[in-house]
């Protein structure tokens, strides 16, 4: 599947645990208080547009938010085979890979678009497919621009150069080609979403019309990141690792559409569905740790005490009532690699976003969403954190045991990307520690932006304490 996805991704660009216990979340407004730790800012939760979760789940699986794509018959001929129907889709959508949607363009062309949300926001763990878990197996290491042209020839040959089909593909192709210039990563497992978006957004005017001349410069060094789990969105006051996504979340969620959207009127149509998408995302619950019942309650309780004494100030509490402080922590306070946050702050993408259809220019500007860069990282909710390896915003740390002991973090570590067997002991991805950046399966923490330094808050613990703390984290 991943080889297929790797090649097709660029050509084209549940654990919905029903009946889970409702947890209460304290929303304490969000201003700096005397108890806010130094170097941290408390983010304020804002009222979100409400929607229908069921409709959101359907829109995510069948919706047109990618905008344009490859005419469906040509796509089907190129792909062949019968991939597994991971999203439980019906009709024509049942037989295409789960990472793509089949939909109609504004000109009535039946297309398959580029990567849908699940192309990056679903993954495998112990052989199980988990919707909403960030993809830990992605492969953005190669650039397949060559195949774009091949598909263009097919479309034009079959439908004619002036057809609506050729137009649908051309709109998609210009976005996907712009994106391809920036999406390549040095190794697997990290995701280029913001690089991709920056590369395409600069080819669009504020009203989303295409501009052959770029409207802003590329940031000197944008880097790829890990992909956060969706089940924590409901606790957050700001989206994204560096907390840049503010205001109306539904609008922020649509950014992938810059690749293939026809025009602002089509985007207004997407926008009407995204409050539903947000509502569905907010129903997600984290997966439960395997054999969680066999953990020793006394050890877990010891871990709980250590957590509340050492970690809760930033990450909140996970008792009957959850208190999550929504803290944005300065990069020099958490000490993790600042390059990701710095690069986003330096990119023209933020100003573009804020003045484009997504921000002030939007049809529903009353719901205004905006981007506010900061050289800082959000201390994330730790619900289901056992399942979200690798750790930190750049995915540079393979497991929880080494996250809590910075002296043991590997500089170069190599994973088997064919195997989703999880290490439930150290809690993360099984790996080999190697001497150098051997190949695309090896994470190289010496590359700027991919450093594994900082977050040394577990370093002072001894091994027994660390183990107890990790056992507690398994229960969240």
Q: Which residues bind ligand HEC (CB under 6 A)?
A: 37, 65, 115, 117, 119-121, 191, 193, 196, 225, 227-228, 232-233, 236, 239-241, 253-254, 256, 277, 310-311, 313-315, 329, 333-334, 336, 377, 379-380, 382, 385, 388, 391-393, 400, 403, 455, 457-458, 469
User: Measured between alpha carbons, how far is 263 from 171 in angstroms, rounded to an integer?
Assistant: 10
- Provide the greatest CA pair distance for the chain: 71
User: Measured between alpha carbons, how far is 279 from 250 in angstroms, rounded to an integer?
Assistant: 9
Q: Is 326 helix (H, G, I), strand (E, B) or coil?
A: coil
User: Measured between alpha carbons, how far is 300 from 298 in angstroms, rounded to an integer?
Assistant: 5
Judge contact between 475 and 300, C-beta under 8 A.
yes
Task: Give the residue with the Cβ less far from ligand HEC, 122 or 442.
Answer: 122
Neighbouring-strand partners of residue 50: none
Residue 464: how many other CB atoms lie within 10 Å: 10
DSSP per-residue string spanning 19-65: TPPP-EEE-------TTSPTTEEEPPP-------HHHHHHHHHH--T
Q: Least Å distance between CB 163 and ligand HEC?
A: 28
Task: Give the residue with the Cβ less far from ligand HEC, 136 or 400.
Answer: 400
Judge contact between 57 and 280, C-beta under 8 A.
yes
Task: Give the residue with the Cβ less far from ligand HEC, 36 or 163.
Answer: 36
Q: Least Å distance between CB 236 and ligand HEC?
A: 6
Task: Give the residue with the Cβ less far from ligand HEC, 310 or 411.
Answer: 310
Place of tokens 């183990």: 467
Judge contact between 121 and 134, C-beta under 8 A.
yes
Task: Give the residue with the Cβ less far from ligand HEC, 42 or 166.
Answer: 42
Judge contact between 414 and 438, C-beta under 8 A.
yes
Q: Is 282 helix (H, G, I), strand (E, B) or coil?
A: coil
What ranges in 255-381 are assigned the alpha helix state H? 264-271, 274-281, 297-310, 312-315, 331-334, 339-346, 349-355
Q: Least Å distance between CB 325 and ligand HEC?
A: 10
DSSP per-residue string spanning 122-169: EEEETTEEEETS--SS---S---HHHHHHHHHHHHHHH-TTSHHHHHH
Q: Least Å distance between CB 26 and ligand HEC?
A: 19
Q: Is 423 helix (H, G, I), strand (E, B) or coil?
A: strand
Q: Least Å distance between CB 320 and ligand HEC?
A: 20
Task: Give the residue with the Cβ less far from ligand HEC, 166 or 458.
Answer: 458
Q: Least Å distance between CB 194 and ligand HEC?
A: 6
Q: Is 193 helix (H, G, I), strand (E, B) or coil?
A: helix
- Integer-rounded Cα Rg, in Å, for the chain is 22
Q: Would you report the helix, strand and coil content of the chain in percent, each value rounded to 5?
A: 35, 10, 50
CA angle centred on 412, ends 408 and 413, rounded to 5°? 80
Task: Give the residue with the Cβ less far from ligand HEC, 166 or 345.
Answer: 345
Kind plus residue range of the DSSP H or E element containing 400:
helix 400-403
Q: Least Å distance between CB 157 and ligand HEC?
A: 29
Q: Least Å distance between CB 115 and ligand HEC?
A: 4
Task: Give the residue with the Cβ less far from ligand HEC, 180 or 227.
Answer: 227
Place of tokens 């909140």: 316
Task: Give the residue with the Cβ less far from ligand HEC, 166 or 385.
Answer: 385
Q: Least Å distance between CB 401 and ligand HEC?
A: 11
Task: Give the residue with the Cβ less far from ligand HEC, 129 or 457.
Answer: 457
Judge contact between 13 and 258, C-beta under 8 A.
no
Task: Give the residue with the Cβ less far from ligand HEC, 119 or 166.
Answer: 119
Task: Give the residue with the Cβ less far from ligand HEC, 71 or 119.
Answer: 119
Q: Least Å distance between CB 153 and ligand HEC?
A: 26
Q: Least Å distance between CB 56 and ligand HEC?
A: 9
Q: Least Å distance between CB 400 and ligand HEC?
A: 6
């Amino acid at each position: 599947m991943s080889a297929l996805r790797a090649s097709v991704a660029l050509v084209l660009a549940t654990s919905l645990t029903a009946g889970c216990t409702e947890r209460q979340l304290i929303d304490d407004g969000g201003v700096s208080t005397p108890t806010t730790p130094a170097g941290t800012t408390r983010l304020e939760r804002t009222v979100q547009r409400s929607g229908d979760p069921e409709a959101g789940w359907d829109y995510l699986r069948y919706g047109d938010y990618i905008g344009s794509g490859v005419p469906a018959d040509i796509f089907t001929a190129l792909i062949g085979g019968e991939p597994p129907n991971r999203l439980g889709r019906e009709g024509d959508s049942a037989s295409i890979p789960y990472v793509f949607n089949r939909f109609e363009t504004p000109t009535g062309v039946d297309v398959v678009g580029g990567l849908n949300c699940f192309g990056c926001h679903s993954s495998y763990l112990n052989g199980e497919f988990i919707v909403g878990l960030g993809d830990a197996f992605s492969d953005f290491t190669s650039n397949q621009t060559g195949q774009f042209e091949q598909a263009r020839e097919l479309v034009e040959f079959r439908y004619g150069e002036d057809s609506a089909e050729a137009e649908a593909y051309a709109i998609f192709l210009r976005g996907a080609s712009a994106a391809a210039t920036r999406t390549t990563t040095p190794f697997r497992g990290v995701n280029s979403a913001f690089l991709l978006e920056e590369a395409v957004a600069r080819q669009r005017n504020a009203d989303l019309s295409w501009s052959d001349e770029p409207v802003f410069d590329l940031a000197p060094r944008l880097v790829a990141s890990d992909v956060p789990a969706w089940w924590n969105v409901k606790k957050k006051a700001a989206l994204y690792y560096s907390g840049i996504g503010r205001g109306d979340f539904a609008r922020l969620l649509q950014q992938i559409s810059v690749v293939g959207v026809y025009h602002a009127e089509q985007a207004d149509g997407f926008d009407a569905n995204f409050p539903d998408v947000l509502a569905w995302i907010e129903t997600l619950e984290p997966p439960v740790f395997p054999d969680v019942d066999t953990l020793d309650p006394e050890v877990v309780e010891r871990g709980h005490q250590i957590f509340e004494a050492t970690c809760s100030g930033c990450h909140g509490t996970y008792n009957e009532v959850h208190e999550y402080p929504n803290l944005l922590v300065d990069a020099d306070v958490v000490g993790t690699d600042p390059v990701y946050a710095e690069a986003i702050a330096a990119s023209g993408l933020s100003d573009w976003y804020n003045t484009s259809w997504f921000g002030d220019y939007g049809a529903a500007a009353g719901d205004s969403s905006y981007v506010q860069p900061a050289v800082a990282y959000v201390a994330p909710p730790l619900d289901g954190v056992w399942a979200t390896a690798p750790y930190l915003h750049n995915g540079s740390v393979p497991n929880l045991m080494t996250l809590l002991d910075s002296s043991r973090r590997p500089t170069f570590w190599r994973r088997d990307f064919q195997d989703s067997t999880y290490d439930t002991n150290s809690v993360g991805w099984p790996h080999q520690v190697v001497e150098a950046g051997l190949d695309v399966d090896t994470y190289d923490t010496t590359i700027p932006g991919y450093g594994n330094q900082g977050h040394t808050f577990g370093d002072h613990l001894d091994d027994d304490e660390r183990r107890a703390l990790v056992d507690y984290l398994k229960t969240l």
